[in-house]
Amino acid sequence: MAKAPVLTPRAEDFPRWYQDLISKAELADNGPVRGSMVIRPYGYGIWERMQAEMDARIKETGTENAYFPLLIPQSYLAREADHVEGFAPELAVVTHGGGKELEEPAVVRPTSEMIINEYFSKWVQSYRDLPLLINQWANVVRWELRPRLFLRTSEFLWQEGHTAHATYEEARDFAAHIHRKVYEDFMVNVLAMDVVPGRKTVKERFAGAINTLTLEGMMGDGKALQMATSHELGQNFAKAFNTQYLSKEGKQELVWQTSWGSTTRMIGALVMMHGDDDGLRVPPRLAHIQAVVLAIKGDEAVLAKVRELGARLKAAGVRVRVDDRTDVPFGRRAVDWELKGVPVRIEIGPRDLENGTAMLARRIPGGKEPVAIDSLVELLPVILEEDQALLLKQSRERRESRTSEVSTIGEAVEAATAGGWARIPWATLGEEGEAELAEHAVTVRCLVAEDGSVPDADKAPGNVAVVARAY
């Protein structure tokens, strides 16, 4: 009798497959309050690796980490009208504390522009204080009506960067640097995700920003997911919070600002972009467990060998886990690691030990083959890099094969509803066409130049709109 699949097949029900994988790969559970989530150790291990890679890139820009309060006086939000209007439907507000009604309600942080600007206005006095480059790793709350683990939850984890500069050009260039040299570099070279860098339309840009830069990824079902954004805030918040500096010429000037963020949504993207019907596939450069060494049976010689090999691989710089739980059936353990998407499994039993070999299972391309145990320390780094490159190649080929060049709004809608992306000249689409797309649950994910670069302006000649259905 055929064995029942562990996961719902993607082609049968993609959303159900996603939920199955999140649960069975032990990434997260639903929290006790609707829209909240509990990130389990394996899922949090992936997030920690994301944090480490991102944090290093952020610090290379000269940005420093800080922390700001979770609770923000409600009056702070009212200072920037577009910002408060953009977030109003998502706010969670604390009205009581210590058994008493608060004199002023406090908003649970949906983002930190408001409170950070309160302190920027205190810290910035002179041109010598600029640029001021701050990042924080924190949680935020945005009340979700239709929650989905990692993709849309009422509370999620993220990093948010906030900077103040002396000139528009410095702020513009810094936002662009974060967009391409921090976010895109991380997504392409660590997450192995082919992403499209572009500029949001006026309708889609961040509340209170003068420009929003985005990275859009195509998921396994052809829908788009916004991966990270970098915003030029202009002087909107500087005016609202009176953040000024004394210039070299002795004049009081308003600062120019940016903000930028990426979230635990990237774990959801990892699942939907790289997962298959057997589970998750984690890019080797990201994986907090790159290889697992499994003892097939509880033979003492086998246990000694898997532990010794684990130590050798660790010393060689491989992030390795030794699975010597021989009281748990081998088949169950193998399936669990397959579901979790660990790039490489090394399986050793008594017969393998006699032959001086191990069974090497590669999760990303699939397949198993016997290899000499003594060759593994040298072989594994090569294999891991090959499989990293393969994931990126598959991601790019999916996007390219499922993106259509179209010339009418009808063709754009047809391509998006069929599970793909469309590229249409912005001059053909325009804001009226963007509104028409919305009637079909299709959005402009970003604007790109004809050559695929990020355009300098919303209405630059030759701008192309990338449209899709999105999460």
Q: Looking at residue 275, what is its pLDDT? A: 98
Q: Do 174 and 48 sit in the same domain of this protein?
A: yes
Q: Partners of 28 in the beta sheet?
A: 39
Q: What is the CATH number of the domain that holds 379?
A: 3.40.50.800
Q: Looking at residue 4, what is its pLDDT? A: 53
The structure tokens listed for 31 are 């929290």
Q: Do 218 and 308 sit in the same domain of this protein?
A: no
Question: Residue 393 domain-assigned?
Answer: no
Q: Looking at residue 2, what is its pLDDT? A: 42
User: Can you tell me whether residue 4 is helix, strand or coil?
Assistant: coil
Q: Do 356 and 225 sit in the same domain of this protein?
A: no
Q: Do 268 and 296 sit in the same domain of this protein?
A: no
Q: Do 268 and 313 sit in the same domain of this protein?
A: no
Question: Residue 395 domain-assigned?
Answer: no
Which residue, 274, 305, 329, sits at the end of a domain? 274
Question: Residue 195 domain-assigned?
Answer: yes
Write b or e for each residue in 259-284: b if 16 or more Cβ atoms lie within 10 A of its Cβ, otherwise e: bbbbbbbbbbbbbbbbbbebbbbbbb
Mean pLDDT by runs of 10 across the 471 residues of the chain is 72 97 97 95 98 98 98 88 76 94 95 94 98 98 92 97 98 98 98 98 94 98 97 95 96 98 98 98 98 94 97 98 96 97 97 96 97 97 98 98 97 96 97 97 97 91 97 94
53-87 pLDDT per residue, tens: 999 999 999 999 999 999 999 999 888 777 667 77
Instruction: Output DSSP code: residue 470.
Output: B
Global pTM? 0.95
Q: Which domain holds residue 430?
A: 403-468
Within 13 A of 401's CA, how many CA atoms are on the CB side?
9
Q: What is the CATH number of the domain that holds 131?
A: 3.30.930.10
Q: How far is it, in rounded angstroms, from Cα 331 to Cα 328?
A: 9
Q: Do 364 and 435 sit in the same domain of this protein?
A: no
Q: Do 364 and 307 sit in the same domain of this protein?
A: yes
Question: Residue 457 domain-assigned?
Answer: yes
Q: Do 34 and 153 sit in the same domain of this protein?
A: yes
* Domain total in the chain: 3
> Taking a C-beta distance cutoff of 8 angstroms, is the pair 91, 143 a contact?
yes
Amino acid at 32: P
Question: Residue 280 domain-assigned?
Answer: no
Q: Do 354 and 425 sit in the same domain of this protein?
A: no
Q: 406: phi > 0 → left, psi -120 to 50 → alpha, else beta; which? A: beta
Beta-carbon contacts of 68 under 8 Å, excluding residues fewer than 6 positions away, are 109, 112, 115, 116, 119, 136, 138
Question: Residue 261 domain-assigned?
Answer: yes
Q: Looking at residue 80, what is its pLDDT? A: 75
Q: Do 74 and 201 sit in the same domain of this protein?
A: yes
Write b or e for each residue in 294-310: b if 16 or more Cβ atoms lie within 10 A of its Cβ, otherwise e: bbbeeeeebbebbeebb
Q: How far is it, in rounded angstroms, from Cα 205 to Cα 405?
A: 24
Question: Residue 284 domain-assigned?
Answer: no
Q: Do 202 and 329 sit in the same domain of this protein?
A: no
Which residue, 216, 249, 274, sits at the end of a domain? 274
Q: What is the CATH number of the domain that holds 436?
A: 3.30.110
Q: Do 263 and 314 sit in the same domain of this protein?
A: no
3-state DSSP: the chain helix, strand, coil percent, rounded to 5?
Answer: 40, 30, 35
Question: Residue 281 domain-assigned?
Answer: no
